[in-house]
Amino acid sequence: MSDAILPPVPPQAPRLGNRFWPWLMRGLLRLSGWRLLGELPDVPKLIIIGAPHSSYWDGVWGLMMKIALGLDIKIMIKREVLDSPLGLILKPIGMIGINRKAALNVVGQMVRRFADHPRMWLGITPEGTRKHVQHWKSGFLRIAREADVPILPVFLDYPTKTFTLGTPLHATDDPDADMARIRALFSGYRGKHRNTE
């Protein structure tokens, strides 16, 4: 569905089934002034990385946008949270439980999940924290490379109240070069409390 504050959703994108919540979230986004700019790729499998991540509000706005679009974008969360009463709310909106015990490999869990599902979009914050970090976590690159899934950068910018969709790219066999190339794309965008530099 096309919307002035949101781009059209392509046919191959995984969808949520409910119509009420997207309608409500679109209304709230209009009131807030936040917009999603750019074009969503028409692919069945995708890793979405968003930055700069400097506030809990990033997740609030991002979650509202994904629900407003009616997209089933999976977000990793500790399995214990989904096993609590909160799971009744979080599971239907795309949260997936991850077992973070040392013996288990989160990258491997996600690669298997991509292999087991014909359609899956996964959202990740590569900084891994709201604090400024010198080095981003490389898990998203490892998942993308091993699952052969494209990466879509999404740039948060609080001064303009926008999330901007970048151009999908693919991981190579040189993760250091990939990381430098991807991180450079986020230059100039400003989070609520900082940028990525």
Q: How many CB atoms lie within 10 A of CB 27?
A: 11
Q: How many CB atoms lie within 10 A of CB 39?
A: 11
Whether 54 and 192 have beta carbons less than 8 Å apart is answered as yes
pLDDT, one tens digit for every residue, the chain (197 residues): 445 789 999 999 999 877 788 899 999 999 999 999 999 999 999 999 998 887 888 888 998 999 999 999 998 877 787 888 887 877 877 888 777 665 458 899 899 999 999 999 999 988 765 666 667 889 999 999 999 999 999 999 999 999 999 999 999 999 999 999 999 999 989 888 766 65
pLDDT recorded at residue 60: 87
pLDDT recorded at residue 1: 41
**Residue 141: HSE in the Cβ half-sphere, 13 Å Cα cutoff:** 18
pLDDT recorded at residue 148: 97
Domain coordinates of the chain in residue numbers? 20-185
